[in-house]
Every structure is written in structure tokens, then in C-alpha cells.
Amino acid sequence: MGGVLDGMPAGIWMDLQQVQQALDRRRPGQNTLTTERKEQDVVRFLSGFHPEEDESGRRQTLGTSIGFIIENEDQRSTDYQAIQDQYRPSHADYTYEAKYGIRDHRGGGRSSARETVCRVVAGALATQLLPADLRILPFVERMAGIGIPADASFDPQAATAHITGCPHPETAENMRDQLEALKALGDSAGGVIACQVHGVPAGWGEPVFDKLSARLAYALMGINAAKGIEFGSGFAGADSRGSIQNDAFIAPGQTATNHSGGIQGGISNGMPLFFRLAFKPIASIKQSQQTINRQGEAVEMQIEGRHDPAVLPRALPIVEAMVALVLADFYLAQRIQRTNS
């Protein structure tokens, strides 16, 4: 896999080891709840950085395109040979073929979550462009039908301490037990990733078409298997009343409640951003399924290969990356606006 990141300003000192650390969080084959596929996911930068390092090992951006490559090391294309003429249920096999007239059956091509490795690289660079006190904290809130209790106390930063990505220890253990049971059955699970973003000042976002919520939704819904998003109280707020939902201001940039999720009128209001992103169960399961082939004939298929029982734990750095990319755009836009005003 490879990618190119454009638009990074010149002269920014970047710690490239932080980029590798972000990739390591997404890397497959780390525990029993991920695919058995082994990829080191070592990033190699080809352009965009000055060759000299400072005493901390950082390198400066040149303002040119940042090119990079990540080698695929553990492919088993033959695992997909038996289904080259069949459409996997809930995959992009049929839709890609309907659009392009041809598809690569060896793993899904561009519809594969493998492509998200490039997003993590770009997001890890964008994170270093943002203010140092801005923190993006995604965590697994619900998975396999098990969720963090509404009244539970937890620290979102503890999400990395458990293989499920859930920061509430008791819930995390229940999630792991359920995922292991589903994996043994050859099945998979979906869930919800929640995310808090602290340190976004008031004023980021544009009216109408480039609202902060709209741009975040656009980026996050582009992640593989993402099926829904809500900000603040979201859909629950639809059953509430204005007298309950309204966020009363108690100081500039501070409200008594945060039902708005930190965004009002498409612009950040100084409160923490908050959203939930729903993911469907991974479509590649080992149970026998009914489908059709290219001739429209009904067939029974068995998917081989190595797949996660749930996408959510490895999706956390992807969510973080997409949020960082969107916020970096608004950060730069706000700097330009303030400079010109």
C-alpha cells in the first residue's frame, strides 16, 4: 500500500516514530480478537521531508507532497480463488462489478479495510500539526450487544489498555468473552465507537456546506463498515424537548450540558466534541452462506481467509486519523481567517 498527502505546510517538525506507533495500534495479528494475518506495517517515507533530523529524531516538512509506502507481507490470494465468480453477502463484490465491469476477487481491492493503513499515516501526521492540547479520544462503547452502562465512570484514555478498546474494565471483559464465543462459531459482531475531542476552541467550522459536523460525518462515514453517526445526544434527542436539550451558556465557550456535542450551527462552541459511530458486523464469516454467482445461479459459499470477529478495536486509530485530518483543515482555515481579519 502507498499514499500521498498534499497540503501539509512547510517547516513543521514531525516525529515519524509517532506515525509508526499509530500504525502499530491498527496492525493485524496482535491478539486473539484480530485476524491471524501478520503484517509489520512499517511505513517508509519517500518524499516531503528534509533529510536532516534534529536531536529528537524529528524531520521538517518541505511543503511538497508527502509520499510513503507500506509493504504487504502476508498475502494469501489463493484463499479467494474458490469464490472468484461468486458475490460475497454484504461485500462490495457485486457493486464494484456493476460499476466497473470487473473486480479483483483477491480480498476486495479498494473496498478492503487494508486501504485504511494509509489514512492512519496521514492522520498521525495531521495530529502533529494540531495544537498540542487538543486530544482525540475514541473508544469502543458498545460491541457484540454489550455496552458500557449509562451511569458508569471511566477514563476514555484507558481504551488502549484492553484488547477490545473498551475503557470500562468489566464491560471490556464481557465484550471479549462474547467475541471469543462468536469467533468460535465462525460469526462476527458490530458495535459503536464513541469519541470525545477536547481542546477544540470555539469558531472552527463553516456555515452551510462546510459545517464541522458535516465534514466529520463525511470523513467518518467513509471508513469501511461505518453505517451511522450521531453528534451529542443524537437520535435520543429526537424524543426529547427543547427545554431539556438546550445547552445553557454559563461562560464563554462553556455550557451547563453538552447535548449539542460541542457543535452549534456547524461551528465548534468550545465544549468537547462528541459523536458516536456505528459499525456493522464484519461481512466475512466462516459460516456457510447462500448467494449467487455471475450467472445468477443460487450457490452455497464458504469464505476462507483470516478475518477479525469485529472491526472496532482496530478501527480506533482509523477514527482518530480521520478526525485529525478534518480538524487540521479547519485549524489551518481558522488561522488564515484570523490572520486576514
**SS3 of 303, please?**
coil
Q: What's the pLDDT at 178?
A: 96
C-alpha torsion angle, residues 194, 138, 258, 261 (rounded to 10): -80
Give counts: helices (H), strands (E), the chain.
7, 17
Q: What's the pLDDT at 30?
A: 65
Q: What's the pLDDT at 84?
A: 84
Q: What's the pLDDT at 77?
A: 64
Class for the domain spanning 2-340: alpha beta
Q: What's the pLDDT at 337?
A: 73
Q: What's the pLDDT at 111?
A: 81
Please write the tens of the pLDDT for every residue from 215-244.
999 999 999 999 999 999 999 999 999 999
Low-confidence ranges of the chain (pLDDT < 50): none
**Nearest residue to 24 via CA among 121, 136, 156:** 121
pTM score, whole prediction: 0.92
Q: What's the pLDDT at 132?
A: 94
Please write the tens of the pLDDT for every residue from 94-146.
999 999 998 887 767 778 788 899 999 999 999 999 999 999 999 999 999 99
Give all strands of the β-sheet with 135-143 in edge-to-edge order: 146-147, 135-143, 191-198, 273-279, 226-231
Q: Are strands 66-70 and 43-45 parallel, antiparallel or unpaired?
A: antiparallel
